[in-house]
Structure 1
Amino acid sequence: MKILIAGGSGFIGRIVTNLLREEGHDITILTRKEKEAEKNITYIQWLGKDTSPETEIKKADAVINLAGVSINAGRWTAKHQKQIYESRMIATEELLRIVAALPEKPAVFINASAIGIYPSSQQAVYTEKSVEVSDDFLGRTVNDWEQKAAKVSVHGIRPVFMRFGVVLGNEDGALPLMAMPYKWFVGGRVGSGKQWVSWVHVKDAARAILFAITNHHLNGPVNVTAPDPKQMEEFGRTIGFVLHRPHWFPAPSMIMKLALGKKSSLVLEGQQVVPEVLMREGFEFEFPTLKTALNDLLARKSGS
């Protein structure tokens, strides 16, 4: 296939790009900077003055939208929240314009999303059928993002909203920060420890995107989380177990709020999310349990 990617150089985008290249697909990555082509990868500039990517894109069987300022980078000041929100709206609006200009439309539009659309809860279990939307910054951002991306359906294109959980990887995302205290022998309970962490290995996140492209039954929201959500207390203990480190030094909610500000909600609040659609359609997780995921990411890296 010929696949167009926005955000191909990001955390998930790099893994997706490598996976698609291994599968033999031709990839076009939209980028702000001029780059030389690689094997099976073409770079086209966009979101700049006088750029017209649609004139260089000959064909796209699928579009993957992963573009947007990372929610993990920096403190959630009003300015940063505005950047997080607007970067997603602007990039998606431009992709909609590009798709509308293509004479031959792609079959599917894969749009990144997040389980932050669901309200925080220690009791609720959320599936793709859940209609509750969190009335906070993340909930409103994700909801608006999905609604904008859904506009591709007017062209007969199948929209899929990949609601990523906490994506675990070595190079980026939440795991390096979560594991760091344990490596320094000061890991322990974060907040109450009862908040849910619905996670997914970055390789499975990338594989789920390819699965959504090739599985024509998928439409609308898809929860991209492993079928093994954990409460923070157990999540931390598992990190300690894999790294052979103690789990004993608590980080109270007040300390986390002082250190992280509004972004503390990412670790102090959570949702129990089940990947009902992926399981129903037969997706097989390479890392279905937290222990298998952390053993791959942490034990292998630390040499233990």
Structure 2
Amino acid sequence: MKVLVTGGTGLIGRALIKQLKTTHQIYVLTRSPEKAFKLLGHDIEAFKTLPHAKHFTYDVIINLAGEPIADKRWSSQQKNKICQSRWQITQDLVDRVKECEYKPKVIISGSAIGFYGRQAPTTEITENNFQVHDEFTHQVCLKWENIVKECEEQARVCRIRTGIVLAKKGGALSKMKPAFLCGLGGPIASGEQMMSWIHIDDAVAAIQYLMYNKACSGAYNLTAPQPVSNKEFSKQLGQVLNRPTFFTMPESLLKILLGEMSELLTTGQAVIPQRLEEHGFTFHFPNLKMALKSCIGKHLE
């Protein structure tokens, strides 16, 4: 099949394309084809603009593009960049799908667990949870999802709400490990906020599962079935790295350093992949201990 991927040079995109290109023809929409070829190999096609509607003949569209949400302080300019990098490319894809004669079999479009906004630690969040907290992350994801829903009469559409992705290289762990390795790691603020995570291998497997299973459509939480508190996450990461976790990062300091973006770290939600499990998807890394051992390559004491 012909598979069009946006965000192909990102963490999930790279891992996904590595698997898909062994059996499918991969096309990558990217701002830098040179970077795409370097990261993904020359056995793909990469281009900067979408083909004309008459040449738009893809069987699968996987839309993962978007400015990283936690890389820079949320200035008004950065917020706009975060929004437009998701909304505009998704709208462009939707418009092209509506115009083209050859309709894709499935569209898998990115979103995030930020869709739900902050939630109480005791509340388990499934795809059927509509009591969202209306804040920036929710607003970004809501419009992002609403845009791709315009295609639901044109193709099967799956919206993936991804949690914190754990991988050997890149992602959240690469940002957390330096402090922990120096013995400066520990809980953030109260540590009670929930962290909903997923191992990169399970994220890739889940996307492929949705791609091939015609019964799947709508919203899916891409998170492991066992979210943990920030305090527990810090404890287990410290054990894996054989480092103490005595330090606590005060919320007040984070607000000074990061501004509004600090809310990504001081709030959270316990997101459950209910629909994936109902469809029969099996997680290879259902709990944090297994995931951290896989990513870091050390064993808990």
Please indicate the TM-score interval, normalised by the length of the shorter structure: over 0.9
Contact 1:44 1:56 in 2 (8 A): no
Deviation of 1:59 (Å):
2.5
Q: State the match for 1:42 in structure 2.
A: 45
Q: Structure 2 residue aligned with 1:207, among 182, 205, 208?
A: 205
Amino acid at match of 1:147: N
Q: Structure 1 residue aligned with 2:160, among 155, 159, 162?
A: 162
The CA distance in 1 between the partners of 2:56 and 2:11, in whole Å, is 27
Q: Structure 1 residue aligned with 2:237, among 239, 245, 249?
A: 239
Amino acid at match of 1:11: L
The CA distance in 2 between the partners of 1:38 and 1:256, in whole Å, is 39
Q: State the match for 2:196 in structure 1.
A: 198
Deviation of 1:39 (Å):
5.5
The CA distance in 1 between the partners of 2:132 and 2:254, in whole Å, is 25
Contact 2:113 2:271 in 1 (8 A): yes
SS in 1 for 2:183: coil
Unaligned runs of 5+ in 1: 47-51
Q: How does 1:166-185 map to 2 (within 5 A)?
A: 166-185=164-183
Q: How does 1:154-303 map to 2 (within 5 A)?
A: 154-155=153-154, 157-299=155-297
Percent of pairs identical after alignment?
35
Q: What is the alpha-carbon root mean square deviation over aligned residues?
A: 1.9
The CA distance in 2 between the partners of 1:193 and 1:28, in whole Å, is 42
Q: State the match for 1:31 in structure 2.
A: 30
1:19 aligns with 2:19: yes
Q: State the match for 1:107 in structure 2.
A: 105
Deviation of 1:40 (Å):
4.3
The aligned length equals 295
SS in 2 for 1:171: coil
Q: How does 1:81-96 map to 2 (within 5 A)?
A: 81-96=79-94
SS in 1 for 2:108: strand
Contact 1:25 1:40 in 2 (8 A): no
SS in 2 for 1:174: helix
The CA distance in 2 between the partners of 1:297 and 1:280, in whole Å, is 27
The CA distance in 2 between the partners of 1:299 and 1:245, in whole Å, is 15
The CA distance in 2 between the partners of 1:56 and 1:293, in whole Å, is 44
Q: Which moved more, 1:263-272 or 1:54-63?
A: 54-63
1:141 aligns with 2:140: yes
CA offset digits 1:107-141 (Å, max 9, x no partner): 11101011111131222111011112321100011
The CA distance in 1 between the partners of 2:237 and 2:45, in whole Å, is 39
Contact 1:243 1:299 in 2 (8 A): no
CA offset digits 1:155-201 (Å, max 9, x no partner): 2x111110001111233222222222110011112110100000001
TM-score (norm 1): 0.92
Amino acid at match of 2:72: G
Contact 1:191 1:268 in 2 (8 A): yes
Deviation of 1:38 (Å):
4.8
Contact 2:117 2:132 in 1 (8 A): yes
The CA distance in 1 between the partners of 2:33 and 2:220, in whole Å, is 33
Deviation of 1:66 (Å):
0.6
The CA distance in 1 between the partners of 2:126 and 2:97, in whole Å, is 30
Structure 1 residues 223, 34: CA separation in 2 closer, same or farther (over 3 Å shift)? closer
The CA distance in 2 between the partners of 1:161 and 1:227, in whole Å, is 18
1:5 aligns with 2:16: no
The CA distance in 1 between the partners of 2:205 and 2:157, in whole Å, is 17
The CA distance in 2 between the partners of 1:98 and 1:214, in whole Å, is 22
The CA distance in 2 between the partners of 1:86 and 1:194, in whole Å, is 32
